[in-house]
Structure 1
Amino acid sequence: MSRNTNIVVVKMKEKLSFYTEEIKNSDALRITFALYKKFESNNTVNPSRSIKTKKPKILPHECQICGVPAEYSHFGAVSCHPCKMFFKRNANTEQAACTCHFDGQCEINLNNRHICPACRLAKCFKCGMSIDKIQASRQTKPKTNTLIKKKVQHQPETLSTLNLLKSDQSILTINQLTLLSNLFNCYKESQILPFTQRLTDTHIVSEFTCAMYEALVEEFLVSVYETAGAYLRSNDDLRHLSCHDRSIILRSAADNVCCMGGAFIMQHCHLYGLNSFLKAMNAKYGKHTMDIHIWAKKFIDPDVVLVKLSISLFAFSENTCCYYSNTLNNLTNSIDILKIQNKYAEVTWKYLLYKYGHYEAVKRFLNITLWLAAMNILIGHNRTLKVHVHDIDSIVEQTELTLILDDADEIIETNQ
């Protein structure tokens, strides 16, 4: 993905250059720009360190507001993250309070979307965004029975993927149910499954050469790394950390999510039982790496929900920082990390209690801690593999640059 990675970074740099004039007049933006320049000087994308791929990942939709590539629908319209946050902050503002100096005729696109809030907000409503569809997390704490009933009434919409939990509200709170649903959907293994199916189908076809099968394995690995990158960019807790702490946590989180997500997929799709797959992986990473994988797979729980919760829980784990010198000592606010860990651990424990009862919950929670220990061994070994380190570095660089640009977008919109 060397050429494609450079294209993405060039486009992001072009976008950031548009903010230069704004930065000159804002202390907050000067800080963001300084962080970006520091990131740029220390993390220049090297084509030799990039993940290989056959073609760039193309997002399936355009933001209906500003026209940039977008993947998800927010509040009733397909929109990018900056437009989503703009609507979330300004939806309750009276449109009459926003004045357009050009009689409401402004064209809204990537380059000028922050200039006229009135036209941008009007376009959000015109494209179908609705105040009613803003998630309950944006609302203030309910003070009347009417508001409580309204919040519960909307619950099935927010948690449609976890209907098994809605019958018992005594263990998990509504906020915890929402978090559980979000964490479940944050790691999208569905993007990897087509590649695992091709590996399985091709394994039984004798006319496929070793080189052809290795190419399929390479595509599978690219999808694992890309899915990990998408997880990091969509995790709100990571987004809301300070830029300094986020840059520290990001590297260990990327390593952890890649290794745990990859191990989960290989076990879930029975790839460890394919001789051709193991042979190709041995050729790429070495037999010792795969021996650790095969030993550690016995700790992977068959409950997919629990595995995904574990991935999120261990993404912020202090133990995974042990391979990076002075990491914890440099955090400006380690309490924030502890709060995230505690929040994820509590949701995981309550899910186990609900589904399995106390005895089985203790056994399974112990098992996922053993899985973490096994993954620490694997991650420590992987740090000696140049090919893996280069791929992790590429994910970190792209993710950090994306989040810095999103921060700049939000600062500009907040200061308007």
Structure 2
Amino acid sequence: MNFKRPLSLSPIHHRFSKTHIEFNKNKCCQVCGDKANIFNYGALSCASCKTFFRRHGFHPEDIPQCDFYGNCEITIQSRRMCTACRFSKCLAIGMSPDLIRKEDFTGKSRSLIKPKQQYLCLSKLGTSNTIFSTMNLLSRDISSLSPDNWILLSNLVHAFDSFAPSYEVKRMIKFLTTTSVDIQYKLQQSLNIVSMICQSIQSSINSTADFRIMTTEEQCSLVQRNTLGIWAFYSMVILYHCDMFDNISSKSIMNPLYKLDDVEYTRSLTMRLDPDPTLVKLIIMVLSFSSNCFTIHADQNMQRDSLLMGTFRLLGSQNAYVEIMWKYMLYRYGYFESAKRFCELIKIMLDEINMASNIYDNNKIHQNLANQIIEGTKRSLTFDGSENIPLWGKNEI
């Protein structure tokens, strides 16, 4: 939907036009269904939708387009999820920008709607400090997330985005699909892609305070236990966003390394991924601090390692991310939708771990690469063991 042309031509406008001419006997907001007592800007609406319309009425061209083709249902629970559809429904029920008093946007009243920014430092591994503001998900936060929760969530998303190899992977995919290369070269590039993805996810985890305060032995144990499972999940996310599965030529890039059935099954799993990237990043971080996120381990000494002796601290970190994820979902989607999304993410993760375990068992090239990456990561942690300084994380740590 393009707000630079008259919104009266939008299909969603006609869908709600009947509501505009009907008398609302129950005194419900005609936009979201919340309680409403007076007409605001031409239609019966609640205080929240009144404020929303006043905020966007003069500059609809700044509203981002809907990601779901203008078909979002606007309710009390979902009204903050899609600005485009909410604004379109406001127009559809008769709210008019011409009725907004321009003085509402001057002086002190305008400053009230500016979100307060908070700042925290994030040190990239091997780079200088970066200052950045918290995620602008809220203009007036009514969620149960505390300010510290929002800062931690913002830092988490920023860490993933900072280390994400999407640009490099896209460039390699484009090169391999437009250039004639031999099978051996394709195999090497496939190995480079999956290796790059693994290194990026480990860098994101390594930057957290929860990981950095662990002893070197605990860090190495966590890498051994969880890298393969999380790596496979994150690979699905990155390859999906890099359009790896869009056509036969791009999918064939992985054929020298993986069987066609494995590539197709991976594609089918990506189709089930939650479209909310923040939620996906949160579940990855939750699983990163699991006591075990893979089903194959040949090292019998893992049953006696130091990580299990301090599980309370490990699970404390995991529970902190679970709590933030659940509060975030409740704010965005409401209870029942959150429960469904959470269950689906867990099902995808279990299917992915099963697939990754089978590949590890049956694909020696992949197995050798995985073992090399894990051992290399553990060696680097041992070398840097004296520098376990939290880069970002919970304030109380």
TM-score range relative to shorter protein = 0.5 to 0.7
Alignment of 1:215-226 (within 5 A): 216-226=189-199
SS at match of 1:272: coil
Q: Secondary structure at the match of 1:165?
A: coil
Is contact 1:191–1:227 with CA below 8 Å preserved after alignment? yes
Amino acid at match of 1:405: F
Residue aligning to 1:201: 174
TM-score between the two structures when normalised by the length of structure 1: 0.55
- Label 1:162 to 1:337 Cα distance change in 2 as closer, same or farther (>3 A): same
Equivalent residue number for residue 126 of structure 2: 71
Does residue 270 (structure 1) correspond to residue 247 (structure 2)? The answer is no
SS in structure 2 of the partner of residue 163 of structure 1: coil
Q: Which amino acid aligns with 2:376?
A: Q
Q: Which of 225, 249, 256 is 2:229 aligned to?
A: 256
Aligned counterpart for 1:389 among listed residues 344, 349, 367: 367
Counterpart amino acid of residue 357 in structure 1: G
- Which residue, 255, 264, 283 being the options, matches 2:256? 283
1:246 aligns with 2:219: yes
Distance in structure 2 (CA, Å) of the matches to 1:231 and 1:366 = 25
In the alignment, is the contact (CA less than 8 A) between 2:191 and 2:257 conserved in 1?
no
Aligned to 1:403: 381
Report the Cα offset of residue 243 of structure 1.
Answer: 3.3
Larger radius of gyration between Structure 1 and Structure 2? 2
Instruction: Report the Cα distance in structure 1 between the residues aligned to 2:206 and 2:315, rounded to whole angstroms.
Output: 20
CA shift digits 1:152-192 (9 cap, x unpaired)? xxxxxxx6251113631541112211221222123247642
Deviations 1:13-55 (A, max 9, x none): xxxxxxxxxxxxxxxxxxxxxxxxxxxxxxxxxxxxxxxxxxx
Determine if the alignment matches structure 1 residue 181 to structure 2 residue 154: yes
Change (3 A) 1:409 1:202: closer
Percent of aligned positions with the same letter in both sequences? 24
Partner of 2:324: 347
State the match for 1:292 in structure 2: 265
Distance apart, 1:275 and its partner CA: 1.4
For residues 199 and 409 of structure 1, what CA distance do their matches in structure 2 show?
A: 34
The 8 Å contact of residues 143 and 331 in structure 2, kept in 1 or not, is answered as: no
* Aligned 8 A contact 2:160 2:281 in 1: yes
Distance in 2, matches of 1:317 and 1:70, equals: 23
Greater alpha carbon shift after TM alignment, 384-393 vs 353-362? 384-393
Deviation at 1:215, TM superposition (A): 5.0
Aligned-pair distance for 1:356? 1.7
Corresponding pairs, count: 261
Is the 8 Å Cα contact of residues 200 and 274 (structure 1) preserved in structure 2?
A: no
Contact 1:187 1:231 in 2 (8 A): yes
2:257 and 2:366 in contact (8 A); partners too:
no
TM-fit CA distance, 1:358: 1.9
Distance, in Å, in 1 between the alignment partners of 2:324 and 2:232 is 22
Q: Distance in 1 between matches of 2:276 and 2:130?
A: 31
Q: How does 1:9-408 map to 2 (within 5 A)?
A: 71-74=126-129, 160-165=133-138, 167-168=140-141, 170-188=143-161, 191-202=164-175, 205=178, 213-214=186-187, 216-318=189-291, 320-324=293-297, 327=302, 330=305, 331-384=308-361, 385-408=363-386
Whichever residue aligns with residue 284 of structure 1, its letter is L
Amino acid at match of 1:73: S
Distance change in 2, residues 1:209/1:375 (3 Å): same
Residue identity opposite 2:336 in structure 1: Y
Higher relative contact order (CA 8 A, sep 6+): 1
- Range moving further from structure 2, 377-386 or 203-212: 203-212
Q: How well do the aligned residues superpose, as a CA RMSD in angstroms?
A: 3.0
TM-score by length of 2: 0.58
Mean alpha-carbon deviation: is it higher for 383-392 or for 205-214? 205-214
- The unaligned stretches of length 5 or more in structure 2 are 1-123, 390-397
CA offset digits 1:243-270 (Å, max 9, x no partner): 3333222112221231111100111222
CA contact (8 A) 2:219 2:381 kept: no
| 1:70 to 1:253, Cα distance in 2 relative to 1, 3 A | closer
Are the aligned partners of 1:176 and 1:347 in contact in 2 as well (CA < 8 Å)? yes
- After TM superposition, give the deviation of residue 221 of structure 1 in Å: 2.5
Specify the SS of the correspondent of 2:178. coil
CA, structure 1 residues 211+406, in 2 after alignment: closer, same or farther (shift >3 Å)? closer
Query: 1:302: how far off?
Result: 1.3
Q: CA deviation at 1:200?
A: 4.8
Instruction: Return the offset for 1:311.
Output: 1.2
Q: Is the 8 A contact 1:282 1:289 kept in 2?
A: no
Deviates more, 1:206-215 or 1:325-334: 206-215
2:163 and 2:201 in contact (8 A); partners too: no
Partners of 1:400 and 1:166 lie apart in 2 by 42
* Counterpart-to-counterpart distance in 1, 2:184 and 2:381: 37
Determine if contact 1:191/1:223 at 8 Å carries over to the other structure. no
SS at match of 2:257: helix
CA drift of 1:377 comes to 0.8
